[in-house]
Each structure stands twice: as C-alpha cells, then as structure tokens.
Structure 1
Amino acid sequence: MASNGLSGMEKKVAFSLASVFGLRMMGLFMIMPVFALYGQHLEGFSPLWVGIAIGAYGLTQAFLQIPMGILSDKYGRKPIILGGLVLFAIGSLIAASSDHIYGVVFGRAVQGMGAIAAAVLALAADLTRDEQRTKVMAIIGMCIGFSFALSLLVGPIVAQYMGLTGLFLLTAVLAVLGMLIVQFFVPNPISQAPKGDTVATPTKLKRMLLDPQLFRLDAGIFILHLVLTAVFVALPLDLVDAGLVKEKHWMLYFPAFVGAFFLMVPLIIIGVKRNNTKTMFQLSLMIMMVSLAAMGFYADNLWVLSGAVVLFFTGFNYLEASLPSLIAKFCPVGDKGSAMGVYSTSQFLGAFCGGMLGGGAYQLVGASGVFFVALGLMCVWLFLTIGMQKPVLLKSYTLEATVKDRSDAQDMASKLSQLIGVVEAIVVLEEKVAYLKVDDKFNLSEARAVLGSVN
C-alpha cells in the first residue's frame, strides 16, 4: 500500500528544488523595493526606465518559459536548469557592472533568459509519485512566497550597505548556490513524468487561450503581476515623500507582508470549508482595490500608506496562492502542463508590462496616478470574474497504462469513464498514461483493475 506521506527522497526533492526556486526568485524580487531609490545615480535614470529595469526580466521569461520546458524534455531537466542559472548569474554580473540604466535593463533581460520554472516543476514531477506530487508543488509554492517576503527584508538592507552593485552581486551568488544544490542535492531522474502533467504542448496552447475559464485566470495573473510591478515603481518613492527614509523601508514591508499572511489565512479557511472559493476570490480583489484607492487618495499620509500596504499584500497573497490551484481545477484532463505554460507566460508578461506602465504613468501623472491606473485594471479583473464558474472539488490522477494501440487506449478510456467517481478520463497512447479527474466517490483500486485488465 502506498504511503500517505512523502518518502525520504520526495522530501529531499521538495526542499532542494524549493530552495533553488526560492533563491532564484529572491534574486529577481530583491530589486523591486529598492531600485527606484538606489538607482538614481545611474546615467539615464528616469521613472520610465526604472519600470523597464524592474520588469525587463518578465519579457524574456515570458517568451522563453515554454521553449525552455520543451528543451528540458529533449535534453534533460538538470542541464537546462543549470544553464538557466548560469544565464541568471551572467545577467546579475552585467547589471552589477553597469553605470548606465540601459546596462541594468540588459542585465535584467539576461536574468530572465534563465527561464527555468517549467523545467524545475517538471523535474519535481519526474521525481515524485503522482499521489504525492501536489504536496511537493505546494512546498515549492510556499517557498516562492517566503522568498518574496524575505526579499522585502533583505533587499533594502543589502542596498543600504552595499548599494545596487552589491545587490546584483548577491543575486549572482544566489544563482551559484542554486547550481550547487541542483548538482549535489537533487537526485537524477530515472524516468520522466508524462508530458501532460509538466511541459506545455505547442499544439494545445491555442486551446488553452480560448478556454473561457482559463482565460479569466490567465488574464488575472497578468493583471496581478502588472499591478505588483507598477506599484513597486511608485510606492518606494511615495513612501520617501511621505516621510519614511529609504533605509527604514524594510521595517514596513516585511512586517506588512507577514501580517498580511495571517490575515489571508481566514480567507483560505472560509473558502475551503464553505466551498466558496469564487466569493473569497472576489473579496480579495476588492481588498486590493481598497488598498490602491487608499494609496491614491492619501499618498502623503504614512499611516494610511502603511495600512494600505498590509491590505495590498493580504489580497495579493490570497490571489497568488489560489490562481495555480484554480488553473489545475479548470484545465482539461491531461493538459495541465500546457495550461500552466500559458499561465506562467501571462504572469511574466504582466511583470514586464507593469514595469512599463508604472514607470510611464509615474513620469506623466505621479505616484497617485500609478495607483489609480492599477485600481482601474483591478476593476477590469473583478468584472471578468462575474462569469467565473464555481470550481468543483476534484482530484487528478496520472496512472501508468500499458496499451498496445489506439483501440486499446479507447477501450481503456471508455471503461475508466464508466467507473463511479470518474468525471473525466483520457488515455494517451504515446505517453502510456491514463489521466483521470475524479470526485470523492472514486476508488483507486477499481481504476487500477481496469488498467490491468486491458491487454
């Protein structure tokens, strides 16, 4: 009987890959709360170029995320991950050595070329059992959230004592540390998880974009990261104008993020217990909208700004944690890799557009204008959620299927679909797997019996 918990190897995989992901994301995030303040000595400095520099990594990430995942299928996960971390380190060094903002933008773009998210998640899938895969992905997701919170603490402190050069050098060191973890702590996969679970399939991307429920979520993550990046172009400058010296910004960001995390927990509990995710989702959007309105109307009031930052992160944390699970619930069975590929691309493209929009809006209409533009975009997202369906609580399984030909696969899929609790079933001949979406009435042993009976 399969264990209900993670095995020793799965724990090692979860925490080592979570560390790699976290170190890399921390390197990307640390610049956000400080660049507008500590980059003013750079030649060519302007609010617009601040935004472009902060968001530049998102453009290259957006275009290379899916191709890098496909390359990891062909050449192996570890070589692609290591190569991506090398690019990230090179980009960090380019940015560290630049005295012109154009050089920093180029360095950030090179950082983004190390688009390893899909390969890391695929490697995690390769090294874990299907029934434990969700737990491993959750650990990686929590580590990303923690790395963001830590970056709000570490970024301002490092910038205070070492400047932007020291900050970028630290990101290069973090990349090297990530390479060492991949090389010496992450096990080598013996086999690959099915493609439908991990890597995007180009022929299915159009289908993912046209799905109305997935489109709402992809548009949502685009807007969420656009707003996040735009806000962090304007907020640091606004806090200084309101009387908080830049050396003390971490004293606001970090406690606000931690406090927001605890405020988010009731939203999650209520949403799960009452199976009312959509309402909590919309409430989180409205919490962010209130925070942005407060930032816009009271841009010179430090106490109001501080409270608004807590509210902003409360809504942001809930939405950031909820969106990936909603993608998994709404995506067609066997297409999770493609759905997540479009989702990740939308996320990083949002970060780039947020930098452009935030910098341009700040230059034209100031910090309050940035916050009001962000508020308008959140209103658009809230409107899009009106047609959002209530997600059904289903589990996904990926089971090995020994099938000889297409007739076998069709026969097996038909028998699986007739089992009690099976909502959707598909058997992919090329991958030798059966993808199932099931409810709580599903009996795994009955499915295994069907899989063993088709020869």
Structure 2
Amino acid sequence: MHQLNSLEKRSALALALVFSSRMLGLFMLLPVFALYGQQLQGFSPLWIGLAIGAYGLTQAILQIPLGWLSDRLGRKPVMLGGLALFALGSVVAALADSVYLVTFGRVLQGAGAIAGAILAFAADVTREEQRPKVMAIIGASIGLSFAAAMVLGPLLAKWAGLSGVFWFTALLACGAMLLVAFLLPGSVSKAPMAETLALPQSLLAVLKHRQLLQLDAGVLLLHLMLTAMFVVLPMLLLQYGLASTQHWQFYLPLLLGSFVLMIPMMITAMRKAQEKGFFLLAIALLIVAMLLALLMPGFGPLTGALLLFFIGFNFLEASLPALVSRIAPAGQRGSAMGIYSSSQFFGAFLGGVLGGALLQHFSYQSVFAALAVIGLIWLLIAGTLQLPPRAQRLSLSVAVLNAEQANRLAAQLTRLQGVQEVTIVLAEQRCYLKVSAADYDPAQAQAMIAAAGA
C-alpha cells in the first residue's frame, strides 16, 4: 500500500468495501436459508436451491452488459443503480412471506451486477504499475466477505430471523451507495477498455480459447459445488445435533483453519513454480471431501470433509482469476474476466437448482455423490491445462492511421526480444503487450512506436 498514491489508496479501500459488502449480503443466505426458510409458504427443497442460487442467474446474464453500460453512462451511475437494485431486492425478500417472493428478491439482488463496473473504475483511477495491487485488495475482500458471511449469517438469523438477514443486506447496500457517492472521485480518466471491460469483438475469440474455457468451466463447477453443498449442509448439521444458533461456532474455526492451511499451498506453488500440481491437488481435496461426507456419515467426518473442502475452495478461488488474467491474450483480459465472472455466477445458479432437485427427489447423500462425480470431471478437464510462462502486461499509446500501419507495427514489435504477444486496437490507439520482464527492452519498443507514428 505504501507505493499507492492517496487517490489509489482511497479508491482501493472504498471499492473493496463496496464489493465485499455486496458479496457479504449475497453469501449470508447460504448457511441459513435451508433452516429459516422452512416457515415460508411454498417451502420445498427445490425452492431452497432456487432461492439460494437465483441471484447467480441475473448476475451471469447482466455482468457483461452492465460493464459496457458503465463505459457509456459512467462507472458511478451504473454502480449506484446496481446497488439500488440490490437494496430493492433485499427489501422485497425481507417483506416476503413466501419462498417465491424471496426468490424474486434474490433475482433483483443479482440484477445489480456491478462487478465489471467496479473493476473498471479501479483500473481508471490507478497507474498501470500499481493496478495489480488494487485488484488484489478487491479480490482479497471477496474471500473475507465469504468468511464473514458464514459467521454473521447464522448470528443475524438467530437474533432477527431470515427477514433480519435481508434487512441487514439492504442496509449494507445503502452504506455502499454512500461510499460510491461521496468517497469515490466523480471524474476520472478511463483506463484502456480492452484490459478492463469485455469488448463485443473480443468475446468470440476468448470463447474459442481452450485454456480460458477450461478455467471458465472450472469456476462454474467450483461455485456449483459450493452452492449445492449449502442446500443440504445446514439441515445435516441439525441432524447431527448442532442447534442452528451454534452453526456460526462451527463455521468460524473451519474457515480460519482452512485459510491457515491454504497459505502454505499458495506460497509453495508460487515459489517452486508448481501451480498446476497444487491446482490439481486442490480439486482433488474437493473430491475427497465429498466422498468422505458420503461414505462416512457422522459429525466428525463431516467436519473433516468441510475442512478439506474449504482448503481446496479457498486455494482455487484465489488461483483461478490469477490464471485467467495470466492466460488471456494481450488486449483481451477484460473480455476474459467478463466471461469468467459470468461463468462463476451461472455456476451458483446451477448449484442451487441441482442441490434442491436432488434433495427433493432423493437424499442428501445423492448431492454429495453428484458433487464427487462433478469434481472428478473437473479434475480430468484440468489435467490438460497448460500454463504459459509468467508475463508482464503493458499498454502503450500509439499513433497509427490505418490497419496496414497497425499490422506492420505489430509485426515489428513481435520480433523484439522478450515480447510474447502484441495486440493493437486501432479505435483506442493503444498497443497491448505481454512481455517477459527479464528480456524486454522498453526503450526499443518506444523507439519503434515513435517511428511508426512519425
């Protein structure tokens, strides 16, 4: 943080609070709805799953369009509008007396799909060399909000019931709106679009990229597994004698322990360049966790299974976006991250539907069995993943008049030592590079760009 200027620090903290408060409100339903939603009209296991996962559907559909809209109307208006929708959905769910209306409230919550606008705003207000730090701060806030939700959700539900949880999420949304309105700068210079927002012309190319598709499928399956598991987990804890008022005491040490045990995995994977091996190990932990919960019923084995699950989940949740950013072609990171984010939320929706349907027609064992099979499929898919060498991303201004000049400059830059990929976006007059920092000579690249514009 000490290398960030005052604007970057203020914006990073404000955006992290906005992002985390919104995710906290979405996550808090996971550990409580299966228990407290039983008092609602129309309650059934299938509708449990639909209500838990409903926000993911509208998030997945609107994530990219609202990112585009923020580039036309401005980041702050889109962020304020999205938070207002989130607050409205929370109020609808808080006042609901049926599971159907709660599900509609969750759909409205998801319609405030402002992740793209938040990340684009973060890019707008940061210098390129400091941007990864700001993005890391925002990313870390998501993990913290999930951990906090597992504790706060049961505590709030114990004190104020299910409606109290939704009233609290509405309050969080209003607080986030105040942060956006008064703490974030009103006028900022826009970062290059291609690295921050999904562009229509890039989406098809990214969808054809095999490695990115593997990661998109991975995050979809990861959040499918998480959401489906929480359709059955709260009721299973009740069966094992843990009162609903004590669930937060169960989740808190599990999550803290999983974070502590996950950190050495992250450090070792980075330092020893064994990211793929640990990535596959984390998926294997998810599979083992589901098999343990399936084959060894009881409170003790379930506790061990969840510890393994959260170790793997936390590692993968941190690793997947970093890998997407690393693998995305030069000038297409915004599109890659947009599709990734939509896949993540669509996985949450599918997980709710799958978990609810299996629980309604079969038993909780069927949910764990299905998730073990899904984990195994993911492990087979991930086994063919190929990670490219680490690279630095740069964006440089260019002055080229037409596509012919752009292609000629791109060909020249490609021949420079250390340059891995070159993309020139004529409409933006920007050149996007992926380079090996150890071999790349910025002076040579700048000389070529200057000569091309002369």
Q: Could you report, residue by residue, the CA deviation over 1:403-438 in whole angstroms, capped at 9, with x for unpaired residues?
A: 333344233323322222111112212111110101
Asked whether the 8 Å contact 2:395–2:430 carries over to 1, the reply is: yes
1:109-120 equivalences under 5 Å are 109-120=107-118
Letter matched to residue 47 of structure 1: P
Tell whether 2:343 aligns with 1:346: yes
- SS of the aligned residue for 2:394 comes to strand
Name 1:71's counterpart in structure 2: 69
Tell whether 2:380 aligns with 1:392: no
Name structure 1 gaps, 5 residues minimum: none
Asked whether the 8 Å contact 1:284–1:314 carries over to 2, the reply is: yes
Counterpart of 1:359 (choices 331, 356, 361) is 356
TM, length-normalised to structure 2: 0.97
Name 1:197's counterpart in structure 2: 195
Name 1:161's counterpart in structure 2: 159
Tell me by how many angstroms 1:201 deviates.
Answer: 1.6
Q: 1:436 to 1:4 in 2, by over 3 A?
A: farther
Name 1:183's counterpart in structure 2: 181
Letter matched to residue 349 of structure 1: F
Counterpart of 2:21 (choices 7, 10, 23) is 23
Structure 1: distance between partners of 2:263 and 2:57: 32
Q: Could you report, residue by residue, the CA deviation over 1:176-210 in whole angstroms, capped at 9, with x for unpaired residues?
A: 00000011111234321112111112232222222
Letter matched to residue 167 of structure 1: V
Name 1:108's counterpart in structure 2: 106
Name 1:418's counterpart in structure 2: 415
Q: 1:452 to 1:254 in 2, by over 3 A?
A: farther
Name 1:225's counterpart in structure 2: 223
Tell me by how many angstroms 1:144 deviates.
Answer: 0.6
- SS of the aligned residue for 2:129 comes to helix
- Higher mean C-alpha deviation, range 3-12 or range 22-31: 3-12
Q: Could you report, residue by residue, the CA deviation over 1:332-376 in whole angstroms, capped at 9, with x for unpaired residues?
A: 110111111111111111000100000111112221211111111
1:396-411 equivalences under 5 Å are 396-411=393-408
Letter matched to residue 213 of structure 2: F
Name 2:327's counterpart in structure 1: 330
Asked whether the 8 Å contact 1:69–1:199 carries over to 2, the reply is: yes
Name 1:270's counterpart in structure 2: 268
Q: Could you report, residue by residue, the CA deviation over 1:201-256 in whole angstroms, capped at 9, with x for unpaired residues?
A: 22322222221111110110110000000001011111111111111111111221
Tell me by how many angstroms 1:35 deviates.
Answer: 0.4
Name 2:368's counterpart in structure 1: 371
Name 1:252's counterpart in structure 2: 250
Tell me by how many angstroms 1:4 deviates.
Answer: 8.9
Name 1:43's counterpart in structure 2: 41
Tell me by how many angstroms 1:267 deviates.
Answer: 1.3
- Higher mean C-alpha deviation, range 219-228 or range 262-271: 262-271
Name structure 2 gaps, 5 residues minimum: none
Letter matched to residue 249 of structure 2: M
Letter matched to residue 380 of structure 1: I
Letter matched to residue 250 of structure 2: L
Structure 2: distance between partners of 1:27 and 1:16: 17
Structure 2: distance between partners of 1:156 and 1:453: 63
Asked whether the 8 Å contact 2:157–2:164 carries over to 1, the reply is: yes
Q: Could you report, residue by residue, the CA deviation over 1:79-123 in whole angstroms, capped at 9, with x for unpaired residues?
A: 000000000000000000000000000000000000000111111
Letter matched to residue 319 of structure 2: S
Letter matched to residue 71 of structure 1: L
Asked whether the 8 Å contact 2:280–2:383 carries over to 1, the reply is: no
- SS of the aligned residue for 2:39 comes to coil
- SS of the aligned residue for 2:362 comes to helix
Counterpart of 1:171 (choices 169, 172, 175) is 169
Q: Considering only aligned residues, what root-mean-square deviation do their CA atoms show, in Å? A: 1.4
Structure 1: distance between partners of 2:375 and 2:304: 19
Name 1:53's counterpart in structure 2: 51
Tell whether 2:277 aligns with 1:279: yes
Asked whether the 8 Å contact 1:276–1:390 carries over to 2, the reply is: no
Q: 1:10 to 1:449 in 2, by over 3 A?
A: farther
Counterpart of 2:427 (choices 412, 430, 437) is 430
Name 1:129's counterpart in structure 2: 127
Equivalent residue pairs, number: 452
Letter matched to residue 424 of structure 1: E
Asked whether the 8 Å contact 1:52–1:105 carries over to 2, the reply is: yes
TM, length-normalised to structure 1: 0.97
Asked whether the 8 Å contact 1:244–1:302 carries over to 2, the reply is: no
Structure 2: distance between partners of 1:358 and 1:235: 10
Structure 2: distance between partners of 1:113 and 1:284: 31
Tell me by how many angstroms 1:9 deviates.
Answer: 1.2
- SS of the aligned residue for 1:399 comes to strand
Asked whether the 8 Å contact 2:327–2:387 carries over to 1, the reply is: no
Tell me by how many angstroms 1:449 deviates.
Answer: 3.5
Structure 2: distance between partners of 1:408 and 1:215: 32
- SS of the aligned residue for 1:425 comes to strand
Structure 2: distance between partners of 1:228 and 1:45: 21
Letter matched to residue 176 of structure 1: C
Identity %: 48
